[in-house]
Structure 1
Amino acid sequence: MTQNRLTVTTPAGSFGAYVARPSAAKAPAVVVIQEIFGVNAVMRGICDDLAGQGYLAICPDLFWRIEPGIDITDQSDAEWKKAFELYNAFNVDAGVEDIAATIDLIRADKQCSAKVGAVGFCLGGLLAFLTATRTDSDGSVAYYGVGIDKYLGEADRLTRPLMLHIAEEDQFVPKAAQALIIDGLKNRAQVTIHTYPGRDHAFARKGGEHYDEVDAQTANQRTATFFKSALA
């Protein structure tokens, strides 16, 4: 596995992306969609893990329009304050356009098998849902996506597989919002929904306050099985 960076160029400007490459000459790709802390060690670690599983993983800097190069943690009040400032300033529609450009770039990479999936966390979970409705991603996974309930009107655009991981005690996704998401998507053949009783937001974030090793491993195994099928 090797690591490097790529530059994604769009009509609005260019931004960087962290890339982890597998040992295989050809491999499917996965776009890793950041939380509100930027392309930090957690996101880079997810890319590295995916590369170890045989995927070409890329994590674009989606905050570049606000402040390029954000790399903070969830370990201090000051960083949380900064993260929420970035979240509130973030343009979701522009972010999805940047993900689409990232998909195009990595699909054209000489190491890519042409199949490209996406996985997102928190804010990235919402963006993963919108990646499924607005781009040609071959399969998308959303971990505890915040705000998906506000975009359920786009569900008719779903044509490729989508998996949702929902924390039942998510402080940022109220029970009512969870019910709307489940009711709005449960009868769609492309969608698989998993809920996690007792789990709070970011239960799969290593080192986070609400990290749960058992349920994180369960969710990650489900994601691995999903990608093996969707990106085959």
Structure 2
Amino acid sequence: MKVIQSVHDLITKTGPMRTQVYRPKSDGQFASIIFYSEIFQQTAPIARMATMLAGHGFVVLVPEIFHELNPIGTVLGYDEAGKNKGNQDKSIKPLEQHDSDTQALVDFALSQAYCSNKIGTIGVCIGGHLAYRAALNADVCAAFCLYPTDIHSGSLPSLAGNDSLSRTKDIHAELVMVFGKQDPHVSSEGRKIIYQALEAQGIDFTWQEVNAEHAFMRDEDERYDAALALQMYTHAVSLFNRVLK
């Protein structure tokens, strides 16, 4: 499918959140996928990933995940300065604000004539965590989480007992969890913590560990693995076709 793009500034509890919308250039209603980016927000690789998913017949929403902490339209560079700023933003914004952002995205999707009432999430790095977190929302049916960080450690700010690992019991959606075995951000021990929590709570999930480093989906990085990326796109599209359509 051909894809068209538009820009929307959504109203959230913590201010306007710029959101890029990618959708099929066709009439009809399509299931929505909220795509949570890395700490760098909507870079060129993220835009290409969103276009790839939209081309398979989905409306893809890409929000600026740190909209409260940066001017609208901010994209951080894949360099030391960008990494430092993104990690600083990550350490400041509480999960409760991410939750209200997700609700604003869900409300937007459900209000659009070109969207069906089915919603999924996908994300990379912190975005993988936010996709997991969004599975707490009753309107989210499926979440595809690529090398999600900070779930096992509970290191993102939140109220006591409201970290994502503790809230695993409240997940409503079907999950796919994908980790790179050579990813230094989530060790083998960290992966086991997440797996055991999901299993203990009886969550509907698929688990995959691949021989890859962190950011193996990012096509402007030396860690990029094109063959694995293609597998992940296929797996994600299969999940969303089955659950959302």
TM value normalised by structure 1: 0.93
Q: Which moved more, 1:151-160 or 1:35-44?
A: 151-160
Q: Within the alignment, does 1:119 sit opposite 2:117 as a pair?
A: no
Q: What is the CA-CA distance between 1:94 and the residue it aligns to?
A: 0.5
Q: For 1:24 and 1:196, how far apart are their aligned partners in 2?
A: 36
Determine the structure 2 residue equivalent to 1:92.
95
Alpha carbons 2:137, 2:172 under 8 Å: kept: no
Secondary structure at 1:65 match in 2: helix
Residues 66-92 of structure 1, C-alpha deviation per residue, up to 9 Å, x if partnerless?
113221232x22222222222222322
Q: For 2:41 and 2:95, how far apart are their aligned partners in 1?
A: 15
Q: For 2:57 and 2:22, how far apart are their aligned partners in 1?
A: 10
10, 30, 35: which one pairs with 2:33? Answer: 30
169, 184, 193: which one pairs with 2:207? Answer: 193
Secondary structure at 2:51 match in 1: helix
Q: For 2:190 and 2:118, how far apart are their aligned partners in 1?
A: 32
Alpha carbons 2:177, 2:206 under 8 Å: kept: yes
Alpha carbons 2:147, 2:180 under 8 Å: kept: yes
Amino acid aligned to 1:72? L
Secondary structure at 2:140 match in 1: coil
Q: For 2:12 and 2:138, how far apart are their aligned partners in 1?
A: 15
Determine the structure 2 residue equivalent to 1:172.
185
Q: Which runs of 5+ in 2 are unaligned?
A: 155-163
Q: Within the alignment, does 1:217 sit opposite 2:220 as a pair?
A: no
Amino acid aligned to 1:169? Q
Alpha carbons 1:40, 1:70 under 8 Å: kept: no
Determine the structure 2 residue equivalent to 1:72.
76
Q: For 2:137 and 2:146, how far apart are their aligned partners in 1?
A: 18
Q: Within the alignment, does 1:155 sit opposite 2:168 as a pair?
A: yes
Alpha carbons 1:51, 1:57 under 8 Å: kept: yes
CA 70–91 in structure 1, closer or farther in 2 if over 3 Å, else same: farther
Q: For 2:98 and 2:172, how far apart are their aligned partners in 1?
A: 21
Matches within 5 A, 1:52-67: 52-67=55-70
Secondary structure at 2:116 match in 1: strand
Amino acid aligned to 1:50? L
Q: For 2:181 and 2:105, how far apart are their aligned partners in 1?
A: 31
Determine the structure 1 residue equivalent to 2:215.
202
Q: What is the CA-CA distance between 1:189 and the residue it aligns to?
A: 4.8
Q: What is the CA-CA distance between 1:135 and the residue it aligns to?
A: 4.5
Secondary structure at 2:100 match in 1: helix
State the 4+ residue runs in structure 1 displaced beyond 6 angstroms.
none
Secondary structure at 1:182 match in 2: helix
Secondary structure at 2:77 match in 1: coil
Q: Which runs of 5+ in 1 are unaligned?
A: none
Determine the structure 2 residue equivalent to 1:146.
149
Determine the structure 2 residue equivalent to 1:49.
52
Determine the structure 2 residue equivalent to 1:19.
21
Number of equivalenced pairs: 230
Identity of aligned residues (%): 23
Q: What is the CA-CA distance between 1:10 and the residue it aligns to?
A: 2.2
